[in-house]
Structure 1
Amino acid sequence: MARIRSIAPGIQSIRAHDSEVDCFFNTVTDATGETLLHLSTFGSDHRRSAPKSSQSIQLDVAMASQLIEVLYETFPSLAAAQPTTAHSPASSTRTNGRHRRAD
């Protein structure tokens, strides 16, 4: 349960998960007035106890922008369906998990 500070490719060995969970989202404002996206997942159908939040993350606008870019890279059909604008992820590149404008 934390605020995301960076998004970068991982190196750990992973596999697809067998179970599914539900994810709920909210927005929250931090002490400085910045809006955050809050995502919470709730236990799988196989959980023995009553449903409760098992993981939560929060993203500010910079991390949300990086996540959008990763989503477009992972699922190119999403990017192809979006109109191209000066602020679209297609007009920027990522370097070491950091976002910079492409020239």
Structure 2
Amino acid sequence: MARIEKLEIGPSEGSVHPSKVHARVKVFGDGPDGPIVQIDTFGSAGREIPGKLSQTIQLNKTTGQELLAILQRAYG
């Protein structure tokens, strides 16, 4: 699990990853960092244990707003 402290925009290069997974989003807490948005991803069908919790990231109010601005620029 990791709580993202800062987002930076990298170069506009990359490729679409072949694995597709399911994710669950949770919103909780109301401390000084604002609500926490947590995204859990689960192992793809090709993993040793498909569907097992794989990765978790958390965003606080600041990093959530940064991500929202990036998504708005990308998708309008």
TM-superposition CA deviations, 1:5-38 (whole Å, max 9, x none): 1111124x63210010001011232775842111
Equivalent position of 2:14 in the other structure: 14
Q: Give the SS at the match of 1:46.
A: coil
User: Which secondary structure does the structure 2 equivalent of 1:67 belong to?
Assistant: helix
Residues 1-103 of structure 1 correspond to what in structure 2 (within 5 A)?
Answer: 1-11=1-11, 14-29=14-29, 34-76=34-76
Q: Distance in 2 between matches of 1:74 and 1:40?
A: 22
Q: Point out where structure 2 has 5 or more consecutive residues left out of the alignment.
A: none
Instruction: State the TM-score, normalized to the length of structure 1.
Output: 0.62
Q: Report the TM-score when normalising by structure 2.
A: 0.81
Report percent identity of matched pairs: 29
Of residues 46-55 and 17-26 in structure 1, the stretch that sits farther from structure 2 once superposed is: 46-55
Partners of 2:15 and 2:39 lie apart in 1 by 22
Q: Which runs of 5+ in 1 are unaligned?
A: 77-103
Bigger relative contact order (CA 8 A; separation at least 6): 2
Q: Could you tell me how far apart the structure 1 residues matched to 2:30 and 2:70 are? A: 25
Distance 2:69 2:35 in 1: 19
Q: What is the root-mean-square deviation in Å for CA atoms of aligned residues?
A: 2.3
Give the count of matched residue pairs. 76
Cα distance in 1 for partners of 2:33, 2:47 equals: 37
